[in-house]
Amino acid sequence: MRILMVGDVVGRSGRYFFMEQTPELKQQKKIDMVVVNGENAAHGKGLTPNIFAELIRSGADVVTSGNHIWDNHTVMEIIDTEPFLLRPANYPEDTPGKGFCIFPVGKKNIGVINMAGRTFMQPPMDDPFRLTEKFLAFMRKKCDVILIDFHAEATSEKLAYAHYFDGRVTAIVGTHTHIQTADEKILPKGTAYISDLGMVGAENSILGMEIEPVVKRFLTGRPSKFEVAEGAAIYCALLIDIDDKTNKPVKVSRIQLKERIAADEIRGRQG
């Protein structure tokens, strides 16, 4: 089995490149399942019903998210009804939506958990370690493979979380920081890992946003309005090969694709 886990999709450039590349990747690399983080897909802020549908039509099977999932209020129209749309599980219990799902692939059940870190993150969340323990208590009985999108800021927290659950889940991938790390590996007890998948968004940007307003905020210390960057995109993901007999990962491959588009097309996207 081959599973592709894709980094945060940011804005229109990210959506277009995800829509263009994902079907081709699935066919070329014989991918069985795609998990993508969509919390920034709607102009860099949240997710809408139409954009969720776009991601699914383009090849996503499960869409995870993070602390920006609420930035576009229209997500409330689908957060409770779409079975494969997730928000971090460690929000308070009465929060709309759900933090896990089980997706069937052939005769196997693939469990996906969406969890958020607490270090340097807002708003405050419940303990992801103890809550994941509770999830695993019943998911391991129902699932052949378990994947976790750990949406967190600090690499130390991501690594601590991964080593704590090493050998008890199939894969743990970090999201949120939008910069793909080069530490993809299979941990000592058998869990596939990367500190951050990266993003699908404009390459010439700061985390998918226009450069100048971000620099201005650092220079002045004053608020400045961030706008999603347009232009040639980058597609970052992790491909995980899983042994069909043992359900354990045997290989991880970091994917980074770069778009090349003409200047007139860039201007058209901005229009």
Residues labelled as active-site residues: 68
- As a whole number of angstroms, the distance between CA 18 and CA 145 comes to 25
Pairing of strands 2-6, 100-105: unpaired
Note whether 7 and 39 are within 8 A (CB): no
The whole-angstrom distance between residue 191's C-alpha and the CA centroid of its chain comes to 18
- As a whole number of angstroms, the distance between CA 1 and CA 249 comes to 9
- As a whole number of angstroms, the distance between CA 238 and CA 253 comes to 6
- As a whole number of angstroms, the distance between CA 54 and CA 75 comes to 14
Output phi, psi for 121, to 5 deg: -115, 145
- As a whole number of angstroms, the distance between CA 10 and CA 228 comes to 8
